[in-house]
Amino acid sequence: MVHNRNLQDVFALCLGIGCELPTRFCILPVNLETATSIEELCYSGPICLSIRSDWLRHGVSESPLEVTKKSFPYRFQQELAGERAATARIFINSPWLVGKPTQVARMLEAVLGRTLASGYPVQFVVRDANSGTANWLIEPDSNPVNVDIVTRRLKRMARGVGQTTMRYGD
């Protein structure tokens, strides 16, 4: 199932705890909204490790939140009681999305191929200065039509079509 969810502004959260601002796209830590310091941030694994590996294999590089070259730790579901640790959370910054259609297509294919085929949900968080933050959560058992709607919407935005709003269903 695909949902439209509102989330706090990723840039404000990053600035508040001292992370780098993502200029392109990145994997979001599972606890970005609840962490009070950069030392508390962690990624959900192993899915995030696999996604990063796929991106490297496809020649697509993210703009990570880490200030140093050292990655935030990866935590596994049993270590994150009460959190949806298995969800891959992918942040996409709208200016990069609009300017790089080929890289967007590669990034999306790598993420969807890895997450949905492995039975993991994926959340896309897209930030746009004009219309705020759009969020789409795609579950592994989602109707293929719903997955296609989100994929087409992101690819259309990458080609510069319909970039004034990103609300689900537009």
Predicted confidence (pLDDT) per residue in 3-12, tens digit: 454 556 788 8
- Lowest-confidence segment of 58-62, 81-85, 153-157 by average pLDDT: 81-85
Output the pLDDT for position 6: 52
Output the pLDDT for position 100: 76
What pTM was computed for the model? 0.79
The gap from C-alpha 51 to its chain's centroid, in whole angstroms, comes to 11
Output the pLDDT for position 7: 57
What residue spans of 18-132 are helical by DSSP H? 47-57, 94-99, 101-118
Is 164's pLDDT higher than 50? no
DSSP state of 75: E
Is 50's pLDDT higher than 70? yes
- The arithmetic mean of pLDDT across residues 29-43, rounded, is 88
Closest C-alpha among 126, 132, 135, 110 to residue 158:
126
pLDDT in tens, 95-110: 887 777 778 888 888 8
Collapsing DSSP states into helix, strand and coil, what is residue 125?
strand
Is 144's pLDDT higher than 70? yes
Q: Which distant-in-sequence residues (6+ apart) come within 8 Å of 27 by Cβ?
A: 43, 48, 51, 52, 62, 64, 88, 89, 90, 91
The gap from C-alpha 68 to its chain's centroid, in whole angstroms, comes to 20
Whether 44 and 85 have beta carbons less than 8 Å apart is answered as yes
